[in-house]
Amino acid sequence: MNPKELKLLMRRVAAGKIAPDEAAERLRTTDSVNLHFARVDTGRESRCGFPEVIFGARKSPKQIAQIAAAILRRTDRLLVTRASEEAFLAVREIAPEAKYYDVARIVAVRRGRAERARRSMVFIVTAGTSDIPVAEEARVTALMFGVRVETAFDCGVAGLHRLIPLIPTIRKARAIIVIAGMEGALASVVGGLVRRPVIAVPTSVGYGASFGGIAPLLTMMNSCAAGVSVVNIDNGFGAGYLAGMIARA
Amino acid sequence: MNPKELKLLMRRVAAGKIAPDEAAERLRTTDSVNLHFARVDTGRESRCGFPEVIFGARKSPKQIAQIAAAILRRTDRLLVTRASEEAFLAVREIAPEAKYYDVARIVAVRRGRAERARRSMVFIVTAGTSDIPVAEEARVTALMFGVRVETAFDCGVAGLHRLIPLIPTIRKARAIIVIAGMEGALASVVGGLVRRPVIAVPTSVGYGASFGGIAPLLTMMNSCAAGVSVVNIDNGFGAGYLAGMIARA
Amino acid sequence: MNPKELKLLMRRVAAGKIAPDEAAERLRTTDSVNLHFARVDTGRESRCGFPEVIFGARKSPKQIAQIAAAILRRTDRLLVTRASEEAFLAVREIAPEAKYYDVARIVAVRRGRAERARRSMVFIVTAGTSDIPVAEEARVTALMFGVRVETAFDCGVAGLHRLIPLIPTIRKARAIIVIAGMEGALASVVGGLVRRPVIAVPTSVGYGASFGGIAPLLTMMNSCAAGVSVVNIDNGFGAGYLAGMIARA
Amino acid sequence: MNPKELKLLMRRVAAGKIAPDEAAERLRTTDSVNLHFARVDTGRESRCGFPEVIFGARKSPKQIAQIAAAILRRTDRLLVTRASEEAFLAVREIAPEAKYYDVARIVAVRRGRAERARRSMVFIVTAGTSDIPVAEEARVTALMFGVRVETAFDCGVAGLHRLIPLIPTIRKARAIIVIAGMEGALASVVGGLVRRPVIAVPTSVGYGASFGGIAPLLTMMNSCAAGVSVVNIDNGFGAGYLAGMIARA
Amino acid sequence: MNPKELKLLMRRVAAGKIAPDEAAERLRTTDSVNLHFARVDTGRESRCGFPEVIFGARKSPKQIAQIAAAILRRTDRLLVTRASEEAFLAVREIAPEAKYYDVARIVAVRRGRAERARRSMVFIVTAGTSDIPVAEEARVTALMFGVRVETAFDCGVAGLHRLIPLIPTIRKARAIIVIAGMEGALASVVGGLVRRPVIAVPTSVGYGASFGGIAPLLTMMNSCAAGVSVVNIDNGFGAGYLAGMIARA
Amino acid sequence: MNPKELKLLMRRVAAGKIAPDEAAERLRTTDSVNLHFARVDTGRESRCGFPEVIFGARKSPKQIAQIAAAILRRTDRLLVTRASEEAFLAVREIAPEAKYYDVARIVAVRRGRAERARRSMVFIVTAGTSDIPVAEEARVTALMFGVRVETAFDCGVAGLHRLIPLIPTIRKARAIIVIAGMEGALASVVGGLVRRPVIAVPTSVGYGASFGGIAPLLTMMNSCAAGVSVVNIDNGFGAGYLAGMIARA
Amino acid sequence: MNPKELKLLMRRVAAGKIAPDEAAERLRTTDSVNLHFARVDTGRESRCGFPEVIFGARKSPKQIAQIAAAILRRTDRLLVTRASEEAFLAVREIAPEAKYYDVARIVAVRRGRAERARRSMVFIVTAGTSDIPVAEEARVTALMFGVRVETAFDCGVAGLHRLIPLIPTIRKARAIIVIAGMEGALASVVGGLVRRPVIAVPTSVGYGASFGGIAPLLTMMNSCAAGVSVVNIDNGFGAGYLAGMIARA
Amino acid sequence: MNPKELKLLMRRVAAGKIAPDEAAERLRTTDSVNLHFARVDTGRESRCGFPEVIFGARKSPKQIAQIAAAILRRTDRLLVTRASEEAFLAVREIAPEAKYYDVARIVAVRRGRAERARRSMVFIVTAGTSDIPVAEEARVTALMFGVRVETAFDCGVAGLHRLIPLIPTIRKARAIIVIAGMEGALASVVGGLVRRPVIAVPTSVGYGASFGGIAPLLTMMNSCAAGVSVVNIDNGFGAGYLAGMIARA
């Protein structure tokens, strides 16, 4: 309930149009649906501009489908990340237009009222081939914000010339997502070449002293280029969400 | 053997009712049963107010059943945590009234003399759906102390309004258990709203930089709210035990 | 503002005794005082049963005194932890009855309406001599809750017989605080002997592989005794607060 | 040298207006000034929209002044972070209009052609009083981008009601900076309430298991709220830069 | 494109033999082949003296074969590390002379123009038997540089006399690779006996406090012998590459 | 070759009984057997009082049997740790008297000339039931040194009275092995009660913040009791070896 | 009170020579002296064969002197480790024969009844010059057990020939202490050459990735040589104590 | 004593020119000078091609001078790293030609017979200005091997165009040293552009999540460019030594 709605409620109480006890109750129970195993945050879209996203890991297909149903009752967009194919099949039961992106492991629903395509662009660049699933998660997520997405994969700093011809295009983006495992150096290099926010995603690609993504996480955290911020290891969703949010603005 | 029993023993020695060597022996051998692979602490209930609890992980069903039998010879309550269904079946052989809580992975026995239901209440709140198994372990454990338990799942801080209507109920609890993975912020928020102890349980729910529960553990350890203490990652049992102990007082 | 106050406010709005816009404003601005560099949480005592405590580290004596003044305008108790003597002198300017506990590094004020002395007792035991400052911080804090506090210092597990004669007294406490650095084993030993909550405080006492308190923190976190929970390294305040909260109940 | 300039250079070579060897040389030596101990990146502003920023730590006042002079020869803005007062005095020698922000530890120069004030706003919120120096570093940096900055200090989650009345204002910001030490939970709470990017800055405020900022860093990294990204511990500059970049767009 | 080629291009532009726009384009697109999921760095051999090496982990056999084909179109050598047998079969389809080294998990192709055998020698010594796969990866890689390779396995420092008779041979090498898990002490011992670079490879062999190779990594990093440098855990390829590079010189 | 043998060799060279070149060669090649994949340290028994022990993990049964054969050609004792049943069957082919201890995962051979039983005793105590496999590894190893071994399992500090009656027996041991996972506090308690060396073995038993044995390792490392030293996590072999070495003295 | 004394006490109770209540009391209060800030463990010598040792760090000279006085009332030996010169002067006040070892930072007292010199020997070897203070702490401590101590400093593995001539002497020792910082490899090398226990002491000597002693600690923990156990970083006292205990046997 | 010298010694024994016992003695005592607090490795130069280097940290000026004297008796080169000016003055007493490099903190002596200047070149590149002291340590060390050294400072990847014009020169080097703190990305970028060994030196320059150099260490360890190896944090000496060794070959 936003400030305006709050004032409105107060006025209706003052006008006797709504009983005071009911108003107090309403202040407490709005904007979520209690499925017992989950409290669906149905106010998320009005607060944050995007409905609640279901983190599919460790949830059963049935749980996912129930939460999905609760969300779709209030909105036209649905995103399930880390979703298995079983989860997709369960969601399709209640939302036939659901689509499964297997590389991204995302189930997505976009209905009529979903955001229009915009002209602003998000660019996603990965250091290696193995980072592609994370990039796909970012791409599908960003698309939900109605923005355009362009991608370039396998542009790691050991062969900088693969990156350089892309710079003019990258510079046209409203936000840039850089995805890298191993040493994660790509984020700093890109950050030094552009005037838009760089969202860095460390990945668990690598072995030995990459420690499941700690190495690129620290690299990106300590970037000598300004304008770079970092999301969790392998968190393509978070990067796509943030980029979509920035590009939509 | 508590101080009173010790004085009594001394007096019986002085009165010649018990031989001195036997007294010395008795001082050494009371209060445990040696099964060779385990020394069952049969004095635990008199010392701590609750019989020894069997940590089921890495023990065979047969070992668990043997320990359970030794415990049940002296008390009316039994708790086996991290118990497989096989362990349950083995325990049921020797204690037909045993009950298996599959989400909590607990085998429990409560016989006639077990603690009466009390009016004091423990509240358990989780940040997410995936934290429910830990919550269930806490709930079943706390119930063994004869207290009431209420729960609310999936109230993470990204949607605070899900938590706020629960506050009046939470404030009625004698102890509050907050269970959260990922960033574990819920413990601080709840801690700032109540006047009773908050027992925080970090969980291994999350990925990447949650490092199997280190992230929420540190969050909870550094809580800016006073009155918050922390148990081990995924240790629903420990939280339920402590809450039961506090609420029973 | 608690639920009762909320209902009351609603009724006054409905009754026309208070303008709706003012009510909306009041919902937003109650219960804190904005000093710009600090927003004093003056509603803390009504929510949590104890007024906001000032963490003195990194704050100037002047800042501390200003916050203290704001707190004392609403309550009879004040606690400043990690306080230098300079901070004490600044607070004494505005609260002449302030008292400085130099070992605990605490500034405390207790005025007329402060909580009465209660009969319930908190026991504080340390493993070593160097843990005493942390114990003192816990002791002074717990005293603010009106409980009795007893202490025993230097009872580390390398000489268990120092602990054993204390057990009968420890068992009378409503809550036990165990403070230990180095390997921190004392918490488990005490936890196995009592039926009340054990609040374990790891300290930074030690060297080498104690890593500034990580070793005892992990020890306490993994305690094989149930009923043990842990607060931050050297956090005597947190332990005393929690123990006072439990013992007061 | 951007793609357009590159094409232009090529055409001039083709037209014989510039010798081929000179063109090759120019491709190599443009856009930096070599002071031997530093290679000032004078092309940074054209590439990134903001001139090179001097990281003052470990550099002598004399070195800082020399780099500052090289930068100011090409641009109208200068920022020196982690600057001592000595560094400020040295810079003032060569740029009398330099200004020193002592809490932020920043030396800043803004000359005639610097960016105009814009209407878009950045909001900075801190969890505690001790986080203010980091917030000031962010504020002064963001101001260099010509945006408005509003701030609220000491709104930690242990007293959520201090944050709630600020939400309507925070929601008007183009980018929100959340600065917190200890457990760092504030970022998730704010992230769940807004529709704009949240830039989270962990600080080294805290003790014991906060490990110099690792605890809030992990908390923020694992935020359950989408739209949150993280910069380095105590990196107010990085957050202010990123927020300025987003808000300016 | 190296500096010479760059000057040449400029001259051809100046001479009107090549259109300026085409030159600009060429500067951008040379030296890589875009397979969409990978950008093969076909300029690697001219820059680094060795063609791009395919890191086989997490890539499908089909992807590996496509990249291999792109590489072999420009060069006579191919190396795929961490390659499964399936990957080998896929590569053999497009390069019948491909050979699979199963212990090393390497697919290698050497065609007519590959480097000639040289007289300079690389010596590889392992501390244990379990380190042999890493040693084999190093050996096969170094052979691609046309150098001779000698090996001695299981010469750990607990039985130094196994190492000592090898010293005269080791001293003839141009570069020495020392591979050790557990405590990794062998690198320091060898480093103190030779006048050539020692490339130390920590391995994940060990258990408990070896932490998957962290223990030998730190050991080698802190070697009291000069002339020792370290590559990633289990990175036999990196060591063989570096040794081949040094010995070829 | 020990100093005496060295002098003898020199004298034989001086006496012309052995050619100088042969002497130089002999100095290099004594005391090991090269199986290419392993260099069996056949001088270990003369140097260290016990033949080389085969670490069975990551070695094939065939490799183990070949190394075993080389060792048994020179000595009467053989120990293979971390041995699978397959490894046992392979060793039995070449040494029919080999025995397999399945809980300890050890293959052992003791022939005629093996060390006589001695009167000195090693005591092994574990904190829990799950620590028994590590204890068995220690027991079987120590037995190879001809000493007596007594054991007591599941004597964790949460029930100290289980340990106390054992103290008189423990005090008769020449060396005590304390094996504990979780918080590992038992080592300090035992260390404070005895006058003989305590060898502490942390185990990977536990979960969450025990981090695979780091917690008990740090506990034991920081023991407040003197006379305690530590071996690697789960290293029952190392503890049994060291205890046997001490007790045999 | 040992078992014999316990039986004796029981008999005296049975014989009416001691009142039962007094016996119960005596069981509780023997063997420690309560100085409030310290509980001196006066039973340590009878239990462990050596009186309590004072860890001087963080204790005031006055506290140390008071504890020393309590210890010397019951025994003829006193050891204060990590002692400043001020602590020494305070101890000398109450024990004029006290001696200060400044490199070792130890205050020691040995009176008439102290242990006689024995023939068994402890050998201490360090890897570097900077490890000498730790070695001295070990040496002075071991001397208190009446054993002989020999030392060799700066025998790191980068120059193995410095170690080899010492082997015959080292092999005569009953226990060997190996002290090393940086990579700590010396312990494994020595362990492979002797038949007596090797006590390894990691030191904080080094920089960068030695992490204050973690690197040598891990090295020693993972030693490929059997018979090696480890004490805390810089814990010369612990090593000397353990070696004295073994050599005295 | 190398193999040739060993054979020669054997022949002289055989020829009766040297007594067998003396030969045995000589085998043991050659090649080191025992100053008690240090055993100077005077055989280092013959084994490793460079005399022992004195690590000046934690050694007194007097100790350093004594070791220096022992080394200079056998060779013409001396290097003391981490040397204070006091250490320099002490060394100058015994070696008037000693020179002090204050930025590098090195004392160096080069006498007549020192290695001749060679034509091969080592290139040292740093990411920042604050890395210069480490670079200087590397430079002065490498010069001792008689090679040429070229340097370029402050070429971090946030401004790649500063690096690119240097590439032709860098490619002429026999070995390249890359020195970087913060995120350490420069090593990978350079590694992808050259055909010679890249020695990467992480530095402690940075703050927050750089953790004193761990971040760049991990970055360099995980470099996606082949031919890169890593030395300890801030270990300019080690890099210069290794580069000198490679370039001298």
* pLDDT digit string, tens, across residues F94-139: 999 999 999 999 999 998 755 566 789 999 999 999 999 999 999 9
pLDDT at D13: 79
DSSP string, E71-109: HHTT-SEEEEES--HHHHHHHHHH-TT-EEETTTTEEEE
The whole-angstrom distance between B9's CA and the closest CA on chain C is 17
pLDDT at C13: 79
Q: Are residues F140 and F45 in the same domain?
A: no
DSSP strands (E only) in G133-245: 148-152, 175-180, 198-202, 228-230
List C-alpha distances in Å: C225 to B236, C198, C221, F131.
14, 10, 10, 17
Is C11 within the bounds of a domain? no
Residue of chain B whose alpha carbon sits nearest to that of C244: B227
Express each pLDDT in A161-209 by its tens digit. 889 889 889 999 999 999 999 989 999 999 999 999 999 999 999 999 9
Has residue A216 got a pLDDT over 60?
Answer: yes
- As beta bridge partners, residue B199 has B177, B229
> Which of the listed ranges F14-18, G42-46, G193-197 does the model predict with the highest average pLDDT?
G193-197
D224/B182 touch (CB, cutoff 8 Å), yes or no: yes
F160/C156 touch (CB, cutoff 8 Å), yes or no: no
Ranges under pLDDT 70 in chain H: 1-6, 24-30, 113-117
Is H239 within the bounds of a domain? yes
Q: For residue D43, list chain H residues with Cβ-Cβ distance below 8 A.
A: 159, 161
pLDDT at E42: 86
pLDDT at B125: 97
Residue of chain B whose alpha carbon sits nearest to that of G21: B7
The whole-angstrom distance between G212's CA and the closest CA on chain C is 8
Q: For residue C10, list chain A residues with Cβ-Cβ distance below 8 A.
A: 13, 20-21, 23-24
Has residue E221 got a pLDDT over 90?
Answer: yes
Q: pLDDT exceeding 70 applies to what percent of chain E?
A: 93
> Pick from G110, G128, G144: which residue ends a domain?
G110
pLDDT band at C20 (very low <50, low <70, confident <90, very high): confident
Give burial (CB, 10 Å; 0-12/13-18/19+) of B46: middle
Residue of chain A whose alpha carbon sits nearest to that of E218: A209
Least CB-CB distance to G13: which of B3, B14, B27?
A: B14
Has residue B59 got a pLDDT over 80?
Answer: yes
pLDDT band at D43 (very low <50, low <70, confident <90, very high): confident
- The domain in which residue G141 lies consists of 118-248
Please state, in angstroms and rounded to a whole number, the distance separating the CA atoms of residues E177 and E121.
11
Residue F208 in contact with partner chain C when CB distance is under 8 A: yes
Model ipTM value: 0.89
pLDDT band at B42 (very low <50, low <70, confident <90, very high): confident
D241/A227 touch (CB, cutoff 8 Å), yes or no: yes
Q: Which of C182, C183, C195, C230 to mutate to test the interface with F (most CBs of F within 10 A)?
A: C183
Chain E stretch 133-172, residues whose beta carbon is closer than 8 A to a beta carbon of chain G: 156-160
Amino acid at D28: R
Q: Are residues B214 and B234 in the same domain?
A: yes
Please state, in angstroms and rounded to a whole number, the distance separating the CA atoms of residues F210 and A193.
45
Has residue F144 got a pLDDT over 60?
Answer: yes
Express each pLDDT in G121-155 by its tens digit. 999 999 999 999 999 999 999 999 999 999 999 99
Q: For residue A13, list chain C residues with Cβ-Cβ distance below 8 A.
A: 10, 13-14, 20
Residue of chain D whose alpha carbon sits nearest to that of E8: D20
What mean pLDDT do residues G196-209 have?
Answer: 96
Question: Of all helices (H) and strands (E), which one includes residue D54?
Answer: strand D54-55
Express each pLDDT in D237-247 by its tens digit. 999 999 999 99
Lowest mean pLDDT among D102-116, D173-187, H6-20: H6-20
Residue C47 in contact with partner chain A when CB distance is under 8 A: no
E222/H232 touch (CB, cutoff 8 Å), yes or no: yes
Is B57 within the bounds of a domain? yes
What mean pLDDT do residues F71-94 have?
Answer: 95
pLDDT at A116: 62
Chains that touch A (3 or more CB pairs under 8 A): B, C, D, E, H
Average pLDDT of chain D to the nearest whole number: 91
The whole-angstrom distance between D181's CA and the closest CA on chain C is 12
Q: For residue A58, list chain B residues with Cβ-Cβ distance below 8 A.
A: 129-130, 205
Q: For residue F162, list chain B residues with Cβ-Cβ distance below 8 A.
A: 32, 39, 41
Residue G52 in contact with partner chain C when CB distance is under 8 A: yes
Q: Which of B223, D216, H231 is nearest to A221 (CA)?
A: D216
How big is the A-C interface in CB pairs under 8 Å?
A: 36
Q: Are residues A155 and A186 in the same domain?
A: yes
Q: Are residues F101 and F124 in the same domain?
A: no
- Structure tokens, B36: 């060779």
Q: Which of D81, D190, D229 to mutate to test the interface with A (most CBs of A within 10 A)?
A: D229
> How many of the other CB atoms lie within 10 Å of CB of B112?
5
Has residue C139 got a pLDDT over 90?
Answer: yes
Quote the number of domains for chain G: 2
E13/D3 touch (CB, cutoff 8 Å), yes or no: no
Residue B26 in contact with partner chain G when CB distance is under 8 A: no
Q: Are residues B157 and B71 in the same domain?
A: no
Is A82 within the bounds of a domain? yes
Is B11 within the bounds of a domain? no
Q: Are residues A143 and A201 in the same domain?
A: yes
What mean pLDDT do residues D36-61 have?
Answer: 92
pLDDT at F186: 96
pLDDT at A130: 96
Q: pLDDT exceeding 90 applies to what percent of chain D?
A: 72
Residue D129 in contact with partner chain C when CB distance is under 8 A: yes
Least CB-CB distance to H129: which of D28, D59, D217?
A: D59
Please state, in angstroms and rounded to a whole number, the distance separating the CA atoms of residues C97 and F106.
71
What is the Cβ-side half-sphere exposure of residue F176, based on CA atoms within 13 angstroms? 31
Express each pLDDT in G152-191 by its tens digit. 999 999 988 889 889 889 999 999 999 999 989 999 999 9
A161/E30 touch (CB, cutoff 8 Å), yes or no: yes
Least CB-CB distance to E222: which of G215, G221, G223?
A: G215
Q: Which comes out higher in pLDDT, residue C203 or D44? A: C203
Is D13 within the bounds of a domain? no
- As beta bridge partners, residue D55 has D81
Lowest mean pLDDT among A186-195, D108-117, E23-32: E23-32
D28/H208 touch (CB, cutoff 8 Å), yes or no: no
Q: How many helices (H) and strands (E) does chain G have?
A: 10, 11
Angle value at C-alpha H229, between H223 and H233, nearest 5 degrees: 95
Least CB-CB distance to H192: which of A158, A188, A191?
A: A158
Q: Are residues F40 and F74 in the same domain?
A: yes
Q: Are residues H91 and H167 in the same domain?
A: no
Chains that touch G (3 or more CB pairs under 8 A): B, C, E, F, H
Q: For residue F23, list chain E residues with Cβ-Cβ distance below 8 A.
A: none
G195/F47 touch (CB, cutoff 8 Å), yes or no: yes
Give burial (CB, 10 Å; 0-12/13-18/19+) of F119: exposed
Q: For residue B27, list chain G residues with Cβ-Cβ distance below 8 A.
A: 6
At residue A90, φ and ψ (nearest 5 deg) are -70, -40
Beta pairing, strands G77-81 & G99-101:
unpaired
Q: Which of G2, G48, G179 to mutate to test the interface with F (most CBs of F within 10 A)?
A: G48
Q: Which residues of G117-155 are buried (b: 16+ CB within 10 A; e: fewer)?
A: eeebbbbbbbbbbbbbbbbbbbbbbbbbbbbbbebbbbb
pLDDT band at D115 (very low <50, low <70, confident <90, very high): low
Residue D232 in contact with partner chain A when CB distance is under 8 A: yes
A230/D231 touch (CB, cutoff 8 Å), yes or no: yes
Tokens 């001086």 appear where? F14
> Pick from H79, H110, H141: which residue ends a domain?
H110
Q: Are residues G96 and G131 in the same domain?
A: no
Residue of chain H whose alpha carbon sits nearest to that of D236: H208
Q: For residue F204, list chain E residues with Cβ-Cβ distance below 8 A.
A: 208
B near D: at least 3 beta-carbon pairs less than 8 Å apart: yes
The whole-angstrom distance between A27's CA and the closest CA on chain C is 10
- As beta bridge partners, residue C79 has C108
- Structure tokens, C87: 């901070």
Has residue F88 got a pLDDT over 80?
Answer: yes
Is C25 within the bounds of a domain? yes
Q: For residue C152, list chain G residues with Cβ-Cβ distance below 8 A.
A: 39
> Pick from B110, B143, B167: which residue ends a domain?
B110
Residue H11 in contact with partner chain F when CB distance is under 8 A: yes
Express each pLDDT in C191-247 by its tens digit. 999 999 999 999 999 999 999 999 999 999 999 999 999 999 999 999 999 999 999
pLDDT at F217: 97
Has residue A54 got a pLDDT over 70?
Answer: yes
Least CB-CB distance to F165: which of B28, B38, B217?
A: B28
Least CB-CB distance to F6: which of H6, H19, H24?
A: H24
Q: Are residues A135 and A63 in the same domain?
A: no
Amino acid at C116: R
Is F16 within the bounds of a domain? no
Full-prediction pTM beyond 0.90? Answer: yes
pLDDT band at F142 (very low <50, low <70, confident <90, very high): very high
Q: Are residues G87 and G193 in the same domain?
A: no
F230/G228 touch (CB, cutoff 8 Å), yes or no: no
Q: Are residues F169 and F219 in the same domain?
A: yes
Chains that touch D (3 or more CB pairs under 8 A): A, B, C, E, H
User: What CATH number did the domain enclosing D138 receive?
Assistant: 3.40.50.1970
